[in-house]
Structure 1
């Protein structure tokens, strides 16, 4: 670093003026790649404007916002000005800018983005008042207004709404996220209220069909959720995968949020497109408190199987969550549900495959079986059933044979009886004829 670097760093305008008049080169970068103008502009001191002004006035090399070099990370000088929050310095630099545009970093973000996220309302006002500055989106499609919402920069939001009255408050980035999505995800209640008051769409959908409520539920921001619901957010909406806000709350292990959503009408047994319930989502993460709220306070069904046949117990055993396994079994979870695929694994199989010895032991103590054991039992049952079938078949055949024999005996006896009656009838007829002939001869 040169003497000019140090003078700029310590904000000594009289020293800067003297050094520049004696031909000190203001364009020489130090080991960090910064020229004296960087250091002067980065100062938080109010009097830094005098040092910056001195450098700009005394040197023709600084006729634009950006200095001849950049700092590591691709951030240009103007971005550092914005980060510093020194509105007068920003104004001075903008007035010296002859390019008519302001540069952006490698992410497409401009100084306006960085000033907005830092809640430098005065600096943002200076930017927006300059004709060369527009709220252009970065490479992700996010505007400075969205950055401000994501950081809870309410003062900046009010400033931008005032200076740009035609701003699209519901503008979406390349993923469909709006300023309200950003504020809800980050948990800024006052920002959410402000955006809703200014006309933000409460149920705007991103590309995954997530509303701001989904973002808040995922992160467990209870006050945001209450604010959105008060603003008429619909709690029963589902995303592209059929997940409800309750699924996302359970995936995050947010028990209090889960309870809040169920109090607002979401069923604890709602299933997504894969057939998974919020309980299964909570079991996957081993979130005991969340599972207890679903099971004990809202009567969630622990035996619902997803489309692959897995239950909440499968997931708890798979990940070795002993407390979750105990809770499920104490809540009447059936220990031997089998998958619907070729393997037909039970929860115990998952515990065995994961080498979770404590879970395995507990499951065995509570009647759990592996698929191999179930197959052995089934095979023995089939064998016993087959033997019983063979005996029953032989008995049936013998019974039928005896019945046929009895019928033949009855038929033969009936035939003999009929033959005997016929003979007796013939004998009576013969005797009657003989008696009639004898009487005729006697006359």
Structure 2
């Protein structure tokens, strides 16, 4: 830091005068004054600022982020410096790199007096920054109620939307500021306004679990079932969080409030999924328990015919699967392709969940729409350990799919020698024929599975079989 800047920051007027008296070069090079002048304005050193201006300093000089000395003074609430600069001809609306003017700086920090001065000097309160946010939007975001009143009294557009299509009401609701939300509603803000994603202010208040704002919006008539572009209601938005740590008791109340106010607990989004279907995939356990206690359907199917149990299992949420089963969820629901949870877990090789399902009564022989059993799928994917588990639980090794193929056909089709050997060791019929009369050996030869062909020959398969 230079001596000039140090003196400017600390308001050492005498030092500045001495430096000017002894530095004719500086007088000829106004650019050298920019940084200390900016520091003086930022720190409210009115007399020092006046000295620099008297010596010909550039009143529009810029510092960090292209912010002028007026910006620095306004942001830091130095009313006297702001007045001085404006009276000396400073431009009232210089924009920084984010397209923000000094009014933004004053408003964001709740400096009402500075904002008032700027507005009286003609500051444009409808200018938008790089995110298309107006000063009013920022005041709502930061919760500066008195500054908002000033802007609204000046005629600021209460329905101005930012780049996300959100008005000031959205910002207030999202940030949980009840007083600011109430003010905006009193001033006529549209309660059912929708952003670019089709979400309403209530949706955002619910998603952030701001109970007081949710209550206020509902009392003012907000639609509790308003859906966003993905068909998600405020309840679904409120319910879906990823961890227990993200759900403190106070915020839990927002979800209960929505339910108490009659929110449809089984409302489906555009994919046909209910709040329960989503929360069992990894939200907080306290929410899962609440929805189940309040009567959420454990059998609600989405657009693919999948129930909450399916989503709990594919999301590795065994605890939630237990909750669902305790509430009577079917262990073997079929989706539109005929796939059951056991088939999916077998196909993915998740042995822990395969065993869990079998221990809870899952049918090891149920087939999907193509007649494939859990064993067939485990074979296709080469999950040897899963196959052993299914076979140990009594899976029919000769069960045929719609093409008349047993698991052995799928083993040779994929060329998996280890899986083929396992099936043969467990007694799979080597001469089995599919619906076209073809054998596993024929298929292995057609697919060019040489190692499997040799294995089949070694096990007694014949050419004319």
TM-score bracket, normalised by the shorter chain, equals 0.7 to 0.9
After the TM superposition, which of the residue ranges 34-43 and 259-268 deviates more from structure 2? 34-43
TM-superposed CA distance for 1:208, in Å, is 2.1
Structure 1 residue 154 and structure 2 residue 155: aligned?
no
Within a 5 Å distance, the mapping from 1:48-127 to structure 2 comes to 48-56=45-53, 58-64=54-60, 67=61, 69-71=62-64, 73-98=65-90, 100=91, 102-127=93-118
For the structure 1 residues 36 and 351, does the alpha-carbon distance in structure 2 shift closer, same or farther, using more than 3 Å as the test?
Answer: farther
Answer yes or no: is the 8 Å Cα contact 1:121–1:156 preserved in 2: yes
For the structure 1 residues 122 and 369, does the alpha-carbon distance in structure 2 shift closer, same or farther, using more than 3 Å as the test?
Answer: farther
How many residues align? The count is 365
Q: Which one of 341, 344, 352 corresponds to residue 347 of structure 1?
A: 341
Q: Which structure would you say has the larger Rg?
A: 1
Structure 2: gaps (5+ residues)? 242-246, 377-394, 403-465
| Corresponding position of 2:429 | none
| Corresponding position of 1:265 | 262
RMSD across aligned positions (CA): 2.8
Structure 1: gaps (5+ residues)? 384-443
TM-superposed CA distance for 1:125, in Å, is 0.9
Structure 1 residue 35 and structure 2 residue 35: aligned?
yes
CA deviations over 1:388-439 (Å, ceiling 9, x no partner): xxxxxxxxxxxxxxxxxxxxxxxxxxxxxxxxxxxxxxxxxxxxxxxxxxxx
Answer yes or no: is the 8 Å Cα contact 2:334–2:340 preserved in 1: yes
Structure 1 residue 327 and structure 2 residue 323: aligned?
yes
Counterparts of 1:223 and 1:353 in 2: how far apart (Å)?
A: 47
TM-superposed CA distance for 1:36, in Å, is 0.4
Within a 5 Å distance, the mapping from 1:195-234 to structure 2 comes to 195-234=184-223
Answer yes or no: is the 8 Å Cα contact 1:170–1:200 preserved in 2: yes
Counterparts of 1:251 and 1:231 in 2: how far apart (Å)?
A: 25
TM-superposed CA distance for 1:84, in Å, is 0.9
TM-score, structure 2 as length reference: 0.71
Counterparts of 2:116 and 2:93 in 1: how far apart (Å)?
A: 15
Counterparts of 1:19 and 1:178 in 2: how far apart (Å)?
A: 51
User: Greater helix share, 1 or 2?
Assistant: 1
Counterparts of 1:349 and 1:82 in 2: how far apart (Å)?
A: 66
For the structure 1 residues 378 and 223, does the alpha-carbon distance in structure 2 shift closer, same or farther, using more than 3 Å as the test?
Answer: farther
Counterparts of 1:76 and 1:326 in 2: how far apart (Å)?
A: 62
| Corresponding position of 2:311 | 315
For the structure 1 residues 243 and 22, does the alpha-carbon distance in structure 2 shift closer, same or farther, using more than 3 Å as the test?
Answer: same
TM-score, structure 1 as length reference: 0.75
Answer yes or no: is the 8 Å Cα contact 1:313–1:328 preserved in 2: yes
Counterparts of 1:315 and 1:373 in 2: how far apart (Å)?
A: 18
Counterparts of 1:288 and 1:9 in 2: how far apart (Å)?
A: 54
| Corresponding position of 1:12 | 12
For the structure 1 residues 290 and 50, does the alpha-carbon distance in structure 2 shift closer, same or farther, using more than 3 Å as the test?
Answer: same
For the structure 1 residues 349 and 220, does the alpha-carbon distance in structure 2 shift closer, same or farther, using more than 3 Å as the test?
Answer: farther
Structure 1 residue 173 and structure 2 residue 172: aligned?
no
Partner SS state of residue 225, structure 1: helix
| Corresponding position of 1:413 | none
Counterparts of 1:176 and 1:38 in 2: how far apart (Å)?
A: 36
For the structure 1 residues 152 and 367, does the alpha-carbon distance in structure 2 shift closer, same or farther, using more than 3 Å as the test?
Answer: same
Counterparts of 2:139 and 2:49 in 1: how far apart (Å)?
A: 27
| Corresponding position of 1:373 | 374
Counterparts of 1:193 and 1:354 in 2: how far apart (Å)?
A: 52
After the TM superposition, which of the residue ranges 363-372 and 153-162 deviates more from structure 2? 363-372
TM-superposed CA distance for 1:361, in Å, is 4.2
For the structure 1 residues 134 and 267, does the alpha-carbon distance in structure 2 shift closer, same or farther, using more than 3 Å as the test?
Answer: closer
After the TM superposition, which of the residue ranges 111-120 and 373-382 deviates more from structure 2? 373-382
Structure 1 residue 362 and structure 2 residue 341: aligned?
no
Partner SS state of residue 308, structure 1: coil
After the TM superposition, which of the residue ranges 177-186 and 202-211 deviates more from structure 2? 202-211
Partner SS state of residue 284, structure 1: coil
| Corresponding position of 2:178 | 189
After the TM superposition, which of the residue ranges 359-368 and 109-118 deviates more from structure 2? 359-368
Answer yes or no: is the 8 Å Cα contact 2:271–2:302 preserved in 1: yes
Counterparts of 1:312 and 1:287 in 2: how far apart (Å)?
A: 15
For the structure 1 residues 337 and 125, does the alpha-carbon distance in structure 2 shift closer, same or farther, using more than 3 Å as the test?
Answer: same
